[in-house]
Amino acid sequence: MPLTTPRSPLVELHSASFGYGDRRVVSDVDLTVRRGEVLALLGPNGCGKSTLVRGVLGLVDQQGGAVSILGVPRDEFRDHTKLGYVPQHHTLSTSVRATVTEVVEAGRLPHRPWWRPRTRQDRDVVAEAIAAVGLADRAHEEVARLSGGQQRRVLIARALAGQPEVLVMDEPTAGVDVASQGALADVLGRLAADGTSMVVVTHELDALRDLVTRVVCMDAGRVDFDGTTEEYAVHVAGHRPGTDHHHDSPAASATPDGLRGPDPLDWLAGGGTGG
């Protein structure tokens, strides 16, 4: 098995394809996710972005190409705690009778047998994860009493408790109010400043504009753009309405930073969750 090194890319895909049974959804993707990046994966509903993420995580069939995680081929990769995953449907049921701490503690289970008592290290890591998402004052509150945005932060903390090398989030800001989106963006910004690598599937880039370092766009199961936020602004501005391009908007031109305003990114604001 190849050895993981600190210089290894987090994820590498070469002509990778993913799908469900005989149905191919994502085709021939070349992509490298590097340490320290905050990568936003964009695209319209059904374009394959969630399938791509699930394929990397081993939750969807790999139908071609090569995928490696931390320098290890996907089918040989076993250290799953290195990948912190917050799935698309990630608000907690109101019937969950557990505290914030109890939910976050579940993120430590891959590090120890279920029968082994928690150690001081486990408790410290859990407390640090809860503090990292700004919920230290709610640590002993039942999650059912929290808002949807706060519950999402709890599940990010659960992923962080596993001490991953990359945090993968599917639509973290969809379906929550603007204030909650702002609070979540602040949390992710602090994590990014501390060096946390992230891959974020999102329709709402505007909320994350200050922390994203790279934008990857998908259309019809393929990557059709990969670059910085500045390059993305130019890319969007170059596709005016009527050019039959998936970034088009009925509105007018892109704003200078390409990440705010009522123009080419209006379609992101719908908060759809397909992909």
Pick from 80, 3, 50: nearest CA to 199: 50
Alpha carbon distance 185, 194 (integer Å): 14
Alpha carbon distance 256, 94 (integer Å): 42
Q: What percent of the chain has pLDDT over 90?
A: 52
179-191 exposure pattern, b = at least 16 Cβ within 10 A, e = fewer? ebbebbbebbeeb
Pick from 23, 6, 12, 10: nearest CA to 61: 23
pLDDT attached to residue 272: 35
Q: What is the DSSP string of 71-110?
A: TEEGGG---GGGEEEE-SS----TT---BHHHHHHGGGGG
pLDDT attached to residue 65: 96
Span 202-227, mean pLDDT?
A: 89
pLDDT attached to residue 90: 55
Residue 258 pLDDT exceeds 90: no
User: Which pLDDT band holds residue 255 (cuts at 50, 70, 90)?
Assistant: very low
pLDDT attached to residue 252: 28
User: Which pLDDT band holds residue 43 (cuts at 50, 70, 90)?
Assistant: confident
Q: What is the pLDDT of residues 112-171, one digit of tens each?
A: 777 788 899 999 999 999 999 999 999 999 998 888 888 889 999 999 999 999 999 998
Alpha carbon distance 109, 215 (integer Å): 33
Q: Does domain 11-270 have CATH number 3.40.50.300?
A: yes
The 3-class SS string of 155-167 reads HHHHHHHCCCCEE
Query: How many helices and strands (H and E) does the chain possess?
Result: 6, 10
SS3 233: helix
**Which one-letter DSSP state was computed for residue 194?**
T
Span 191-213, mean pLDDT?
A: 88
User: Which pLDDT band holds residue 111 (cuts at 50, 70, 90)?
Assistant: confident
Sorted by where each begins, the domain ranges of the chain are 11-270
In sequence order, the 6+-apart residues with CB closer than 8 A to the CB of 121 are none
Residue 40 pLDDT exceeds 80: yes
Residue 175 pLDDT exceeds 80: no
